[in-house]
Structure 1
């Protein structure tokens, strides 16, 4: 249990994290809040605290966000990453997928309301009110287990739509097509979000059905969340998008960047260019020296480090196994692959 004083401080941080949505472009505010979260987690997260001690890092001497040590994402597989609380029987737990016998990541979420508010807020700042959407989700492999963060998030989105026409589909491609056909004929002019894991979208697109009618609906958004899950040969994101664009007759494919170990998301409205969200920032690190952070205008490929303020109760500073590049002047980035010999991620990323 948190002491009264620590709980009060944590509540103050929570309110600041929620309020940052109203000032998403204030880089100074983000850095100041992130440094405060860093010092809080350095004190009250035992695993992160031990990691910092092994690195001989004194938290009070870290005065810039780029100097904060990022915790390897693999720690989520071997440790309970907790800041200031212990899991209770009703604690929400997300887990990554994995092959039989493989150790998977676990992310304990003690404050589902915070996660809901942030994930919904990020989506609506990007795409508008969920009340203006029907959501159709093609998420085989995720639906086959009961602890997927992606399924949880999409379920919450569907609830917000208030639409009885939103729903999940597994392998029933014909029913999916007919549902989309009916939605394109609806007079309500709501937007339609088709969100799917990559291999599921490709299987459906290549199922031999005539899907060209989809290209006639300007309100349709097709979004891939990445992930072949060993079901298909790995492809470049650009190759996947070209296949879908041709088969569906659409102009562009959107993307979502997220994972079990993160509670914030980033979205791309085309061409694989992701924009940071109010609670998420990406830094690139040197491939050979994980403690060397590249400047914002660096043009080479680096490892992706993520600052996720939504991870208030776990760890907000994650060294992922993804490779990326900076793109644009507003913190934009591309995800281009993974480090060699790293585990295939269990959630939300196409592996190259």
Structure 2
């Protein structure tokens, strides 16, 4: 019996609209709200789990008139073993990313029928940082081939040609970290770009018998926290280690914030500045008790609206605590201590 062919036109039309926004430096609140409401209607219709959630709290496309009224779905929903958080038919799944965790835990999953929108979001967001391409990019994460279900490894693979002319992956398939290539590249006096999780950098620092002075104009991108590991450093302590071990000033260090359940990235540079997202995202900080926006300057749960999350749920409620700023940026304060361990760094530490 032949399966009925799926009409992908509505998907393709919305994807094309969202892609057109990737090339814009700014997206007005009105324009964002207009496309966000279309995406909400699409996801409400095609994502049964999300529709049930929205209906239970009395939010439907008929009652929502602005992007900030669209109900955010808690990230724990992606761990459901009963219903996929997907806005397309299950038989169209082409790729799945899994959250980090142990084999005994239920891991969240993010399914995709195509990675074209996801990868475009990664590339366009990185392009907005306007960073120079260097001779050598050194990655302290598993390669995409060795970790096909890791969204972090996939992101690194998407970016490697934009970052450097040559790429070296220090983390071997058996999990061991080989720092010999870093020593060799550092001696060639050409700027390097190091990318990895906070915990993988700590492992590198532990392995170094003496500091390595990286060439001038070298940079680092670090991501992930310490939850679920035996390590825990303040950002100032971690960045001091970058200076002590690699000779890098804090302004040469970029922090990336994202998660498996999202498709876009938020960046900050140095210490003290907030995280900024691309024009196709919006953020709120909500009171965890009431679900309404926290008072100005007050911490709450970070909520992210990501248009690139077309094929799952655009509005995501994280378990990260943040403070919102008037320009749409946010300052991370930490993670809800009652939340289960999560994070890219955790898999590197296990």
Alignment partner of 1:80 is 2:79? no
Match of 1:317 in 2: 315
Q: Which residues in structure 2 correspond to 1:316-335 (within 5 Å)? A: 316-327=314-325, 329-335=326-332
Match of 1:94 in 2: 97
Distance 1:133 1:127 in 2: 16
Report the 3-state secondary structure (helix = DSSP H, G, I; strand = E; otherwise coil) of the residue aligned with 2:213.
Answer: helix
Q: Which residues in structure 2 correspond to 1:114-129 (within 5 Å)? A: 114-128=117-131
Q: Which residues in structure 2 correspond to 1:144-223 (within 5 Å)? A: 145-160=147-162, 163=165, 165-170=166-171, 171-182=176-187, 184-186=188-190, 192-214=192-214, 216-218=215-217, 220-223=218-221
Distance 1:167 1:134 in 2: 7
- What's the CA shift for 1:168? 1.1
- What's the CA shift for 1:149? 0.6
- What's the CA shift for 1:146? 3.4
Q: Structure 2-normalised TM-score?
A: 0.87
Q: Which moved more, 1:95-104 or 1:55-64?
A: 55-64
CA deviation digits over 1:207-264, x for unaligned, max 9?
Answer: 34433421x411x111111233644322222332222233222111210111111111
- What's the CA shift for 1:196? 0.9
Distance 1:2 1:330 in 2: 45
Report the 3-state secondary structure (helix = DSSP H, G, I; strand = E; otherwise coil) of the residue aligned with 1:32.
Answer: helix
CA deviation digits over 1:38-70, x for unaligned, max 9?
Answer: 111111111100101111223222111111110
Match of 2:340 in 1: 343
Contact kept, 8 Å, 2:134 with 2:193, in 1: the verdict is no
Q: 1:174 to 1:44 in 2, by over 3 A?
A: closer
Alignment partner of 1:263 is 2:273? no
Distance 1:160 1:212 in 2: 25
Q: 1:223 to 1:2 in 2, by over 3 A?
A: farther
Contact kept, 8 Å, 1:266 with 1:274, in 2: the verdict is yes
Contact kept, 8 Å, 1:197 with 1:228, in 2: the verdict is no
Distance 1:37 1:263 in 2: 15
CA deviation digits over 1:77-135, x for unaligned, max 9?
Answer: 013111032244x6111001112310000111111111111111111111347x65632
Match of 1:105 in 2: 108
Distance 1:349 1:287 in 2: 25
Q: 1:143 to 1:207 in 2, by over 3 A?
A: farther
Q: 1:340 to 1:161 in 2, by over 3 A?
A: closer
Q: Which moved more, 1:25-34 or 1:304-313?
A: 25-34
Contact kept, 8 Å, 2:321 with 2:336, in 1: the verdict is yes
Match of 1:23 in 2: 24
Contact kept, 8 Å, 2:140 with 2:201, in 1: the verdict is yes
Cα RMSD for the two superposed structures = 2.6
Distance 1:202 1:330 in 2: 33
Could you list the runs of 5+ residues in structure 2 that have no partner in the other structure? none
- What's the CA shift for 1:204? 1.2
Distance 1:25 1:109 in 2: 27
- What's the CA shift for 1:140? 5.7
Report the 3-state secondary structure (helix = DSSP H, G, I; strand = E; otherwise coil) of the residue aligned with 1:206.
Answer: helix
Q: 1:240 to 1:128 in 2, by over 3 A?
A: closer
Match of 1:136 in 2: 138
Match of 1:235 in 2: 233
Q: Structure 1-normalised TM-score?
A: 0.86
Contact kept, 8 Å, 1:140 with 1:200, in 2: the verdict is no
Distance 2:145 2:206 in 1: 21
